[in-house]
Amino acid sequence: MELNRQLNRQRQSNLRDRFCRNENPSLASSAPPHLQ
């Protein structure tokens, strides 16, 4: 189930990204547009 692994990895990175933005709002505002 390679597709399942990719989805899990994407979900984890999304959660990590959201967590980082919550922890560092200034970092989020300075992030590249394609990451927002």
Residue ranges making up the domain that contains 17: 2-35
Q: Rounded distance, CA 33 to CA 20, Å?
A: 16
Q: How many domains does the chain have?
A: 1
Quickly tell me which residue has 């919550």 as its tokens. 22
pLDDT attached to residue 31: 56
- The answer to whether 35 touches 13, Cβ cutoff 8 Å, is no
Least Cα distance to 30 among 20, 9, 19 occurs for 20
Q: Rounded distance, CA 13 to CA 31, Å?
A: 15
Mean pLDDT of the chain: 73
pTM attached to this predicted model:
0.42
Rg of the chain, C-alpha, whole Å: 12
- What confidence category does residue 36 fall into, taking pLDDT thresholds of 50, 70 and 90? very low
- The answer to whether 24 touches 16, Cβ cutoff 8 Å, is no
